[in-house]
């Protein structure tokens, strides 16, 4: 569930920022999405994607840990 929420939150915020940019710069939404999500040489946008990937992996690992703890709790009869 955390993984889904991370993806949904990223998509919604990306679309919101692109919509604001398209209104400010009087351009198309798709053009602003390409500009926002594109990685240009020399920019530090890769850091955003790296930390997004770390958060994505962390949410998957914590979800698996939680499932394993629930399975251990069910199997212990206590």
How do residues 11-38 score in pLDDT, each as one tens digit? 999 999 999 999 999 999 999 999 888 8
- What DSSP state is assigned to residue 40? -
The H-assigned helical ranges of the chain are 2-25, 29-37, 45-75
Instruction: Provide the pLDDT for residue 75.
Output: 74
Place of tokens 């979800």: 63
Residue 44 confidence (pLDDT) above 80: yes
Q: Which of 29-38, 49-58, 68-77 has the lowest mean pLDDT?
A: 68-77
Instruction: Work out the average pLDDT over 51-59.
Output: 91
Length of the chain: 78
Report pTM: 0.68
């Amino acid at each position: 569930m955390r993984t889904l929420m991370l993806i949904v939150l990223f998509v919604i915020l990306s679309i919101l920022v692109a919509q604001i940019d398209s209104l400010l710069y009087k351009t198309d939404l798709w053009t602003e999405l390409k500009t926002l999500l594109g990685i240009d040489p020399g920019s530090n946008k890769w850091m955003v994607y790296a930390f997004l990937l770390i958060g994505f992996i962390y949410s998957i690992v914590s979800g698996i840990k939680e499932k394993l703890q629930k399975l251990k709790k069910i199997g212990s009869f206590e």
